[in-house]
Every structure is written in C-alpha cells, then in structure tokens.
A and B are shown apart, each in its own frame.
Chain A
Amino acid sequence: MTGPPRAMRGGPSCDRDSMTEPVLKLSGVTKAFGPVMANENVTLELRPGEMLALLGENGAGKTTLMSILFGHYVADSGEVEVFGRALPAGSPRAALAAGVGMVHQHFTLADNMTVLDNVMLGTESLLSPTRDTGAALTRLTGLMERFGLRVNPRAMIRSLSVGERQRVEILKALYRDARILILDEPTAVLTPQEAQHLFATLHQMVDQGLSVIFITHKLREVMAASDRCVVLRHGRVVFEAATAETSAGELARAMVGSDIPRTSRPEPRQGKEILYLDAITVRGRGATPLLDGLNLNLRSHEILGIAGVSGNGQAQLADLLSGLIVPDDGQMVIHGKRVHAPSPAAMLAHGVGRVPDDRTGTGLVADMTVLENLSTEVYRLPAFARRGIMNFKALASRARQLVQAFDIRCPSVDTPVRTLSGGNMQKLILARVLSGAPSVILVNQPTWGLDVGATAYVHQQLLDAAARGAGVVLISEDLDELLQVADRIQVMYQGSLSAPVPAAGVDRAGLGLLMSGSHASPNAATGTTARSAA
C-alpha cells in the first residue's frame, strides 16, 4: 500500500553484506529506571545506506534506546560507536557532531519562533556578536530543494501543520550534516498520504548515502519501507531479520511474545436514535468557525467512527459532547430531549460517558489515587456521601470491585495514578465511565500510546458496551482502529462531517481522500476506491 517493498526497489541497499563497516554500533547497552529495565544488553548495528525499522510495543524500550544514542540519557553500561569512533555518553552535542540527527516524537520546536530560528539554534558560537541569517537561509533553501522538504523559513512554527513541523525537524538534522537519521514514531501524527510522502523522502535520503533508523509499532510501515528490522520486547532484542525474509505475522508474534489477542465482534443490530446533533456551529476566535453546521446521528448498538486529520474540529466535537463548550448555533438532542444548557454535569445527567484523549490532563488527576480518580463522578451520590461527608469505606469497596472487574494493575487503590502505565490509566477511565452505564459514550483517541494487548482490551470494552445497547462516538486518527471497530465512519474536515459510510464499504485510501478534503461527497470517494481496488 505504501509503495513496493524496499528489497524489490533495487538500489544501493540491496547488496549490502557483512563486508561493509556499520556506521553505527550499539553494544551491550543496559539502562534501568529504578526497578524497571528499560534496555537490557541491547546490541544493534546500522549499515551504511540502510533503512532500519526498530519495532516494539509501547514500553518496549525503543525510545529509551534512541535517547541513549542521542545523549538524552546516559546508559548504565554499554557502548555506542558512530563511524568507528566511541561516542561520549550523555551529550547531544557530541552526537550531533558525530553526524547523528534525531527527529523526536514530541517535536523539539519553539512555537513562537520562526523555522529559521529553530534550525539555526546552536549552530553558531554563543559568543558571536551577530547572526548570519543570510547564509543560513541560503543553506536551508538549498537543503529544501535537494530533499523536496518545502516549508516557509520565515513562518512561525505555530502556524505550521504537523506534517510541516516534522519537515522542520528533519531539516534541523540535515542542516547539521546528519549522516544518520533517527525518527521516533514519525508517522504517528500523519495522514496516510503524508506518511507515504515521508517515506519517499527518507528513501531519497538513503539513496543519497544517509542511513535511517525509524521507530514504529506499525507493521504495515515496516513491511513497506524498511530494509531490515529489529524487534525489542521488554528492553531486549528478541528478533532481527531482513524485511524481505520475514512476514508481518512473524513480527507481530515477536513484538507481543504470543499470538495477538483478537476482539470478537457481535452482529450489528439496528438500534434507535439516541443522539442527534443538528447544524451545530461553534465559532472560535479565528475567521473560520471551529464547527461549521455539523450534523451527527447516533443510534444505540452502534459505534460511529470519526476520522480526520487532527485540528479539523475533533477536539471541539469532543468538548461539545463533554459539555465543555456551548454551541453558538444548532441543537443537541439526547434521547429525544433537547439539551438546553450544556455543561459537564448536564451531559453526565443525560447519560453521556466521556473518555478524553489527554489521559493525565483532563481524564485523570495524576497525583491523586486510583480510589479518588474512580470516585470523581459518584462521590456526591447519596450512597457515597451523607450530609457532605464522604463515605470512604463504600467508595473504597466500589473502587476495589472496579479494579478487579476491569483488571487495572495497581499495587492498591491508594496508589497515585501517576505511577500507572498508559494502558492501566485507560482501563481506569473506562471503569469510571462504564460503571455509570452510559447510553452515549464519547471516546477520543482511546488507544493512543497503548500496546497491542491494552488496545485489544479497549476495543473489546467498546464493542461490549455497544452490544449492551450504548451508542459510541469514537474519534480516532488511527484508520485501522476505525475500520476494525466502527460500524459507520464519518470524516471530519474543516469543522463539518461527511455523510456516514459503512465501515465495511471503505478502505484507507478512500478515507484518506476524504481526510484531505479532496472529495465533497463520500459516495464519490468510495466509488473511486472501489474502482482502484478492482
């Protein structure tokens, strides 16, 4: 789907063998964070002109390993060699000087500064009395031409799209003459088309002699774009192979350590309408409204998937259904009753359960305990509070039941939520939401940063909730997730939704077109996909 596999493309990387010296060598790298072994005796080689995929579930130690290489962390033991020379530990400056560039998953850019400022930072002596922006501009535009990474050098970072910001990150590395480029989850924030473009650029770089490591947990990308892949699990290298000689199934088993848990999907049932959004408009401060005459119909027993590139109004839709914003226009009807004054409490009272995208920001209070976080929506109910005094005994026994029922792994209910893994945090939020038996469930990016096991768990919970008769609005940027779980899919573009299409009737390419706004009518898009598939 993302172009032919690298091994078939021919080119310099095909005939590499053990005779060429590796450009990068990690040997015996071990790093522990307290009792957790993030990396254990990891040995890894990168050959010149090679595209290496570093694969593993969340928490497998991929990012830690690359952060050690780049000098953000210092390893407890082990060595890093770049172009045959030992790299001093804990110094990004030394890594940059040795020709290693890193594109971080969370971009390291300053929003209120220009592209040029971000690129130039650290490239001139701090004691220099002036900045040579002219020369820097020439050099930067030269690099943009050479690699097809176009972005306005005078633009402020905050005005750029996520894809453009990533280009700036890559340009930062190229500007410093990186010979080895490391990309941490580079496609996590991109549309399928943007991702395809990124890999084309990376291939171009490899053809010009650079070597690339990209971190991912998406098997599709590994199979389509890499020459070789290394799988990490629990901080150890468990599998290593040329991409042409392995399969997605083999890689998946290596990542998880067993067969992937499957979600069972009940037969779709025709429910009655429970949520109705009619021409909802939310005007922001900008010129264009954030939500623009949005219509949405949700029936019970169904999961409605909302796709789209981030920033097209998904956040506002989520806030709307959470009661955090009040629409300027249009109406919201739940169970045939119009919601007159939306507020979080009103939405709860209407039976809306909310799973927000930012788990530690809006979902949970990280420094408070599991018990307290599980109690936030019920502590004022008569069962748990009398005359304003909380009944901790009842709350604790409820919390213990939920912890058991939802398999939340924590030492006790008095543990601060901060110490839980992402998967367990999400289970906690699901426990809080589903224990209230909501009839409408809003879920925003529910599997962001979760490993395969936790993802399957979340999906199963959503499917079960729908089977019990709830309607689920699933906002996600992960198309595979939508295609796998949702019954119908609508695509969000510039604040409004496309007409719904059955999930069984579309594919990634069709959704990708809708996401880029290139087709007004979803039928046309599905028509195109049907033709191209044929």
Chain B
Amino acid sequence: MDILSFFLETGFWMATLRMATPLILGTLGELICERAGVLNLGIEGIMAAGCMAGWTWVYMGGDLWTGVLFAAFIGALFGLLHALFTVHLGLSQHVTGLGITMLAASLSSFVFRMLLPSATTPPKIVPFQPLAPPLLADIPVLGQILIGQTALTMVALAAVAVVSYVLYRTPAGLAVRMAGENPMAVEAQGLSVFAIRTWAVMAGSALMAVGGAFLTMSAFDAYYIGMVNGRGWICIALVVFASWKPGKALLGCLLFAAFDAIQMRVQQQSGMLIPYQFYLMMPYVFSIIALIVMSRRAAYPKALLIPFRKGER
C-alpha cells in the first residue's frame, strides 16, 4: 500500500495537471480540425514550431504573453499551409500532415541552430511563474493543486470550456461540425466549405502551437531539439478516445498525464527491480487499452478525410 500513497499527495496531482496541459491544448486543436473534416497529422511538427516560436520571441526580448500569441500565429500559418493542400487542392490529408510535421519540426531546429550556432547548453529564458492568486489558496484541495500551476494551464482549462461553447452554441460551431459531417449540406445552405475548413484548421493549429509553447515557456525554460517527443501523436489518439468531444478530451488528457505521473513515481520507488523502460511504456499501454474500450462506439465525423470538391458529388 505504501507504493500507492502518492495518490494522496497534492504534488502528484499538480504534476498530473502540469503534464496534461500541452496535451489538452493539442487535443483541442486536433479536435477542431477533425470536427471540420480535416485530419491534421502536422500536429507533432506544429507543436515543435510553437515551442520554438514562443521561446525565441522571449529570448529576443519580447514579453511572455505576446510570445504565446506569436506561437499561435506561427501555428496558424502552418495550419493555413495544411489547409491549402488538403482543403483547397484536396490532396491526401495523411501525406500532407506528415509532410507538415517534418517541415515544421526541421525548420524549428534549423532556425534554432541558425540563431545559436555554437551554444552547447541551451540558453534559458524566464518562464511563466506559478500563480498565487489570493482567493485560490482558500479552496481546500483543488486550490492547492491549481495554485502551483502557471497561467498557460489556466488558459488550457479555459480553452476546454470555450471550444465546447463555440462548437455547440454558436452558428460558427454548427457550421464547423456540419462541414465534418456532410460538406454538401454546408454548400447547399450557401456557406463556403473551403472557408470554414480553412479557418477551423488554422484555429486548431494555433491551439496546438500554444500547447507546444507551454513546454518552453512554462514546463521548462529552454528549447531542446525533439522536446515535443511524441505528444502530438498522443493527442491524435486522445481525440478518438474523447469521441470528438471537448469535455471527454479533458478527461482523457488528465488520465494519460496521471499514468505518466504514476509511472515516474513508481519508477523512483521500486528501485532497480524492473527495467525503467517498462514504466515508460505503461502510460502508452494504458492509453491503448482505454482507447479500445472508449472508442468502440465512437461516432467519428462522417466526412473526416474526405476532401470536398465543388461541382462534384
């Protein structure tokens, strides 16, 4: 029982929420794209570009919040590129997405090397600091967990509510969902499928980039090549796990992050008995099992992966 005592520590839950933050933003971003009918496999690279863009902005002397906006802007640009190929030219979403990932990730490393050709240790910036709003500390347990987080985690939690509201309660959200279900219906009601999908992919990609920026501007304070480390791919699985619903996406991200946090604790406590790779594997195994259980009856957007071409049916 000793080994499970960490569930009672606030530190464990703080770590879970912190590790979940980039996943929440990335998953929401992917979810918006897929709801509009466009799979965005560029996510892994777009997150890397967000890492790089946010960090660079601050390193060059900008302040943190405009850095976040800059990262979002760069993400939206890659989203626009993805949309040009997949929405307007109707090319394969898989191939384009993987291309965007390779392009964005390599470009980020390239720019980093151009800026700092000879840095052996990555230079640091002053990242977002843990929040300490006066009222928050008074909430018993939740307050303790939230108080250690940075502003970007709050942004991620707020984004769940905002994305949920926009998708289900606004005309624009209806149009996005409809574009992912039956683009012909959108066209027949006088709206432009191209415009809706393009905006959705850009918005989603901007969120992914902010998720990436969290890594260099909150979780760490420097940029490392390859620091996204597969989080983008996890987001794609989490979208399926969430059945394309923002609320369930939050749940999935927390669950995955919790597995990751458990894995770290257990690894520390169990000593050398079991090779550490086994623990590293655990969150992925658990997420695969959860994915199988949760996504069996998932209703995916009907027009996902299907390009819309005007004047064809």
Residues of A that sit less than 8 Å from B by CB: 67, 70, 72-74, 90-97, 102, 104, 106, 108-113, 117-118, 120-131, 172
Contacts and interface: CB of A to CB of B under 8 A. Distances in A.
Most chain B CB neighbours (cut-off 10 Å) among A92, A94, A102, A126: A126
29 contacts: A72-B187, A72-B310, A72-B311, A74-B311, A92-B188, A92-B189, A92-B190, A93-B191, A94-B190, A96-B189, A96-B190, A104-B184, A108-B189, A109-B182, A110-B185, A112-B302, A113-B178, A113-B181, A117-B174, A117-B178, A118-B178, A118-B185, A121-B191, A126-B196, A127-B172, A129-B170, A130-B170, A131-B169, A131-B170
Q: 4 tightest CB-CB pairs across the interface, nearest first?
A: A93-B190, A122-B189, A110-B181, A108-B188
Given A117-B178, A121-B191, A109 B170 contact: no
B240 interface: no
B171 A131 contact: yes
A126 B185 contact: no
Contact of A73 (B170, B178, B184, B311): B311
A109 B313 contact: no
B188 A104 contact: yes
B61 to A, nearest CB: 35
B95 to A, nearest CB: 18
A434 to B, nearest CB: 31
Interface in B177-212: 177-178, 181-182, 184-191, 196
Nearest to A103: B188
A477 B177 CA distance: 34
Contacts of A93: 190-191
Contact of B182 (A70, A102, A108, A130): A108
Interface of B is mostly: helix
Nearest to A158: B299
B178 A121 contact: yes
B279 to A, nearest CB: 40
Contact of A112 (B170, B181, B313): B181
Contacts of A123: 171, 189
B313 A106 contact: yes
B253 interface: no
B175 interface: yes
B175 A126 contact: yes
B293 to A, nearest CB: 18
Contact of B184 (A108, A125, A130): A108
Interface of A is mostly: loop
Interface string B145-175: 0000000000000000000000001111011
Contacts of A92: 187-190
A126 B172 contact: yes
Nearest to A169: B188
Most chain B CB neighbours (cut-off 10 Å) among A93, A109, A110, A127: A110
Contact of B190 (A106, A122, A127): A122
B296 to A, nearest CB: 12
Given A110-B178, A113-B181, A102 B170 contact: no
A122 B313 CA distance: 20
Given A72-B187, A112-B181, A122 B169 contact: no
Most chain A CB neighbours (cut-off 10 Å) among B170, B185, B188, B196: B188
Contacts of A117: 174, 178
A122 B191 contact: yes
Given A73-B311, A128-B170, A172 B181 contact: no
Contacts of B174: 117, 120-121, 131
Nearest to A70: B188
A122 B175 contact: yes
Contact of A121 (B169, B170, B189, B310): B189
Contacts of B170: 128-131
Contacts of B187: 72, 92, 108
Nearest to B176: A126
B231 to A, nearest CB: 29
A121 B302 contact: no
B225 to A, nearest CB: 40
Given A106-B313, A121-B175, A130 B189 contact: no
A197 B181 CA distance: 30
A422 to B, nearest CB: 14
Contacts of A108: 182, 184-185, 187-189
Nearest to A101: B188
A123 B189 CA distance: 8
B62 to A, nearest CB: 30
Contacts of B184: 104, 106, 108
B57 to A, nearest CB: 29
A463 B205 CA distance: 60
A136 B187 CA distance: 20
A194 B310 CA distance: 32
A110 B177 CA distance: 9
Contact of B186 (A111, A121, A129): A121
A18 B258 CA distance: 77
Nearest to A110: B181
A316 B196 CA distance: 39
Contacts of B178: 110, 113, 117-118, 121
A94 B175 CA distance: 18
Contacts of B191: 93, 121-122, 126
A111 B169 contact: no
Nearest to A120: B174
Nearest to B311: A73
A70 B187 CA distance: 11
Interface in B277-313: 299, 302, 310-311, 313
Given A96-B190, A126-B172, A131-B170, 11 more contacts: A67-B311, A92-B188, A93-B191, A94-B190, A108-B187, A109-B185, A110-B178, A110-B182, A112-B299, A121-B189, A126-B171
B297 to A, nearest CB: 11
B164 to A, nearest CB: 14
A442 B177 CA distance: 40
Contacts of A97: 190
Interface in B237-264: none
Given A125-B171, A129-B170, A172-B189, A110 B302 contact: yes
Contact of B181 (A72, A94, A111, A127): A111
Contacts of A128: 170-172
Nearest to A94: B190
A23 B129 CA distance: 67
